[in-house]
């Protein structure tokens, strides 16, 4: 599936210096995954001592990243 970043997510990538590779790894092989009542998917993956959390939705066979941050 194609991964698309919302304008908000693109801004957070730059501000938080998070790589798209880390986001893709988190989406493809998360350590934890939760589906919200609003059909959003929350995934987490550990990178060393930090955990990356990515929130996205699936629309028309595309993953649209809403936001991302380290916990």
Domains defined for the chain, CATH in brackets: 2-70 (3.30.2310)
Total-model pTM: 0.93
Q: Are strands 2-5 and 50-59 parallel, antiparallel or unpaired?
A: unpaired
Q: What is the DSSP pairing of strand 62-70 with strand 50-59?
A: antiparallel
| SS3 category, 48 | coil
Whole-angstrom distance between the N-terminal and C-terminal Cα of the chain? 26
The enclosing H or E element of 16 equals helix 7-16
- Give every CB contact of residue 62 below 8 A, 6+ residues apart in sequence: 1, 2, 3, 4
Taking only the tens of pLDDT, the chain with its 71 residues reads 899 999 999 999 999 999 999 999 999 999 999 999 889 999 999 999 999 999 999 999 999 999 999 99
């Amino acid at each position: 599936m194609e991964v698309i970043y919302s304008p908000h997510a693109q801004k957070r990538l730059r501000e938080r210096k998070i790589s798209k590779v880390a986001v893709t790894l988190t989406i493809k092989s998360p350590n934890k995954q939760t589906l919200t009542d609003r059909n959003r998917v929350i995934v987490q993956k550990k990178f060393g001592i930090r955990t990356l959390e990515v929130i996205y939705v699936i629309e028309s066979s595309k993953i649209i990243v809403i936001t991302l941050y380290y916990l």
